[in-house]
Amino acid sequence: MRRLLLALALSSSTMAAPVPTGPANVPEFKPAFAGQTRAEAVVSTTKLVVTEVATGLAKPWGLAFLPGGRMLVSEKAPGALRIIDAKGVISPPVAGLPAVDARGQGGMMGVGVPGDGFVYWTYAEPRQGGNGLAVARGRVVDGAAPRMDDVQVIFRVQPTLDSQQHFGGRLVFARDGTLFVTLGERSILPGRVQAQDLASDFGKIVRINRDGSIPKDNPFVGKAGTRPEIWSYGHRNMLAAALDAKGRLWEIEHGPKGGDELNLVKKAKDYGWPTITYGEEYSGKPIGKSLTQAPGMEQPVYYWDPVIAPSGMVIASGKLFPEWRGNVLTGGLASMALVRLVLKG
């Protein structure tokens, strides 16, 4: 594959030594190519001013702008959507939403407002025998008591599993009108192994139309023993995904103990989990055969060790931060930092 040169940005425009980090979780693992991890530091001349917009939200997870500049924000637990105006005033919870399983890593997650008259969101759906990620859409009615009308559940992850972890849940609206959804592999072993199973949605990125139907050009349409919505597979838990200026899909996923990954997502490709990984079990035990490479499996463009625990991401565009245009920005839940990754090539 064509390699991308990367650098972690700190604070100037010159190349420096590798970014200071802690010791690697798995020091015996070596990168597959130069620059795949512990990239050189890049300092930035851009000055930042941080402004607090709103306070008092309960575990905010996703954000999208409504027409007119208001923000629609998801609260992971107890599982709600709220509207925030330009003055930071937070609305009551939006009424009319389906039931949410907010236990563990479940709750209300991704939100999107693509401009087609609908609001889209992902959430952990309670089900008989367990739960699963679902995607819904509706028409928001703003006001003192906001509500969601015309609610439709357009996609449900299959199968159902009794787990409170690794739901995924990020939405990305493609330029062709389709919708990418990131799906976690549910963490526990019965789900984890299904990341390599094309008859399961676990550990996949799926591509659907906005009404929930399946695009005819998806790679596994018409193939026996596979789910037609699957776009890529072999993923762990993807909380971050975005398109770049060329319309290419990127995602960042949580590794286990070590090995958070940045991947350039391609149609029908296998990203390796749990067969290959740059991490190990939280107990320190190896995962599988302790492999980092295998034939037919994609390498991450970049990986972090120690992990940053990535949350959302954007690929910077626009005029506000011209120096950062085309760079990856992601939040680190463990590193407690906004991480900037410079892509070159």
Query: What's the average model confidence in pLDDT over 114-134?
Result: 98
- Residue 58's nearest CA partner among 70, 73, 71, 76 is 76
Q: How do residues 274-307 score in pLDDT, each as one tens digit? A: 999 999 999 999 999 999 999 999 999 999 999 9
- CB contact burial 79-113 (16+ within 10 A = b; e otherwise): bbbbbbeeeeebbebbebbbebbbeebbbbbbbbb
> Does pLDDT of 127 surpass 80?
yes
- Distance separating alpha carbons of residues 17 and 191, to the nearest angstrom: 40
- CB contact burial 26-63 (16+ within 10 A = b; e otherwise): beebebeeebbbbbbbbebeeeeeeeeeeeeebeebbe
Query: What's the average model confidence in pLDDT over 311-324?
Result: 94
The residue ranges of DSSP E strands in 178-248, in sequence order, are: 178-183, 204-209, 230-233, 237-243
Enter the tokens of residue 152.
């439709």
Q: Record the pTM.
A: 0.94
- Fold that domain 1-51+162-345 belongs to in CATH: Neuraminidase (2.120.10)
User: What are the backbone dihedrals phi and psi of residue 37, each rounded to the nearest 5 degrees, phi first?
Assistant: -150, 165
Q: How do residues 52-86 score in pLDDT, each as one tens digit? A: 999 999 999 999 999 999 999 999 999 999 999 99
Please report, as a single letter, which amino acid is at residue 316: A
Give every strand in the sheet of 71-75, ordered side by side: 60-65, 71-75, 80-84
Out of 70, 76, 82, 166, the active site residue is 166
Active site (annotated) includes residue 166? yes
- Distance separating alpha carbons of residues 94 and 149, to the nearest angstrom: 10
Q: How do residues 19-40 score in pLDDT, each as one tens digit? A: 667 899 999 999 999 999 998 8
Query: What's the average model confidence in pLDDT over 184-191?
Result: 96
Q: What are the structural domain ranges in the chain? A: 1-51+162-345, 56-156
% of residues, the chain, pLDDT over 90: 89
Q: Which CATH class is domain 56-156?
A: mainly beta
- Distance separating alpha carbons of residues 277 and 288, to the nearest angstrom: 9
pLDDT band at 10 (very low <50, low <70, confident <90, very high): very low
| Placement of tokens 């906004």 in the chain | 338
Strand partners, 84: 71, 90
